[in-house]
Structure 1
Amino acid sequence: MTAQPDATQPPRPPHDKAALAAFVDHTLLKPEATAADVAVLVEEGVALGVFSVCVSPSFVSLAVEMAAGRLAVATVCGFPSGKHMSDVKAFEAARSVADDADEVDMVIDVGTARAGRFDAVQADIAAVRAAVPADRVLKVIIESAALTDEQIIGACRAAEAAGADFVKTSTGFHPAGGASVHAVSLMARTVGVAGGGKLGVKASGGIRDFDSALEMIGAGATRLGLSGTAAVLSGFDRDTPAPASTDTY
């Protein structure tokens, strides 16, 4: 399995394809995805040397079987709206863990964060954390493009207090947009290792090229959610770049 960059230390700029690939959750969350698409995703991920593949919950078992320990398998919970009851999110996360998912990326109720009800945000995350054992990674998607700076800070602190391992910018499905350098930097300064905190920061949503990926890492991202991974990695081959991804995630 590809070694992840040390999430307890501020991220270092990657010096080659392998170093950049180690930041990546190679992602397929399209509703129309098929089992054949997941098989291709896993083989692409292995060939590219990414840290993990991220798939929908219904594909976790297949991805684990296909990966055969060659890379980690991540999935989502309460995706993409976050408007699920906490016990439903917890059950979904527990099922994914039972299917051998290594990591779970849960979506908070963004409206609750927008209302400033951060105790409720924390309780929602804590319910999922209780279903995801300590040896599995829990990432918390806060949908940063839909929040003010104050709300981003509040959501990040709620995630930290609830025992999350990462905070994550976006689902890639929200009309407000995906990751931004500003949001990643703010999240990193608030709870991330780049700011002296303990949490990883995952940038996802709309990262389609090499320069954007490096900007996110420079801002404090310790993980990247990408669907067009090959296009991003091709930045190390400027003479023959791959076409930029048009995917949203």
Structure 2
Amino acid sequence: MEKKEILKYVDHTLLTQGATWEEIRQILDDAMKYETASACIPASYVKQAADYVEGKLPICTVIGFPNGYSTTAVKVFETKDAIANGASEIDMVINIGWLKDKKYEALEDEIRQIHEACGGRILKVIIETCLLTEEEKIKMCEIVTKAGAEYIKTSTGFSTAGATFADVELMRKHVGADVKVKAAGGISSFDDADEFIRLGAERLGTSRLVKIMKNSPDAGAGY
């Protein structure tokens, strides 16, 4: 797949704790120039970002990030606030402790409530695969499918590891037909991105691919 096509799968991401507006604005400019799927940024910048892009780019933000152990009520509030500020897509982190405790109904209910708060916008559910057993990953595929979210996502990028080919393959095999897979964390080359897409990922969370394009000889070609 050509690089330009791969970039259409990318949520161009900046979620570091010290991110400034100047850095966020650069992410937005680059995302619009290279026609990525969205820009994924901290919630505190969503309104400013939405105003800045004037509808030219979907704005994605994160909820319960990166640890996932906020209460459901807090996550629902965060989601409604983000939507009110102009977010088009929401990436939420599950309560991993609940999964370890086998509180499956609570997990499904939380995802369902957040999905309802999205008001028809895209919800991606981050399960932090590096902290889970294979059985737990499969269980989360079932729960995310039942709860009605649009995507299941591998990782926050803030834990012990990011996306792996094996995890994407596993998730694609076990989610329902209507659920898509997002790979995120550690995607550092177009070859890796191409392989994730081949294995079934329909979104990629990364900032590195755009950086590679900006530094390549054909940075301006076709844009």
Task: Give the TM-score normalised by structure 1.
Answer: 0.83
Matched, 1:190 2:174: yes
Find the aligned partners of 1:40 and 1:60 in 2 and give their Cα distance.
Answer: 14
Unpaired runs of 5+ residues, structure 2, are none
Q: In the superposition, relative to structure 1, how do residues 94 and 190 fare at CA in structure 2: closer, same or farther (>3 Å)?
A: same
Deviation at 1:18, TM superposition (A): 2.3
Contact in 1 for aligned 2:190/2:209 (Cα 8 Å): no
Pairs within 5 Å for 1:13-162: 15-134=1-120, 136-162=121-147
Find the aligned partners of 2:163 and 2:213 in 1 and give their Cα distance.
Answer: 18
Matched, 1:217 2:197: yes
Contact in 1 for aligned 2:3/2:190 (Cα 8 Å): no
Contact in 1 for aligned 2:90/2:123 (Cα 8 Å): yes
SS in 2 for 1:222: strand
1:178 is matched with which residue? 162
Instruction: State the one-letter code of the partner of 2:203.
Output: R
Deviation at 1:114, TM superposition (A): 2.3
Instruction: State the one-letter code of the partner of 1:152.
Output: K
- Percent of residue pairs identical: 38
Question: Aligned-residue CA RMSD in angstroms?
Answer: 1.8
Instruction: State the one-letter code of the partner of 2:76.
Output: A
**Which of residues 202, 225, 228 is equivalent to 2:208?**
228
Instruction: State the one-letter code of the partner of 1:185.
Output: E
Find the aligned partners of 2:104 and 2:137 in 1 and give their Cα distance.
Answer: 10
Contact in 2 for aligned 1:137/1:165 (Cα 8 Å): yes
Instruction: State the one-letter code of the partner of 1:45.
Output: A
Instruction: State the one-letter code of the partner of 2:172.
Output: A
Which shows bigger deviation, 116-125 or 165-174?
116-125
Task: Give the TM-score normalised by structure 2.
Answer: 0.93
Q: How many residues align?
A: 219
SS in 1 for 2:90: strand
Deviation at 1:231, TM superposition (A): 4.2
Deviation at 1:83, TM superposition (A): 0.6
Q: Deviations over 1:122-174 (max 9, x none)?
A: 1121121121112x101100001111111011112111111100000000001
Instruction: State the one-letter code of the partner of 1:211.
Output: D
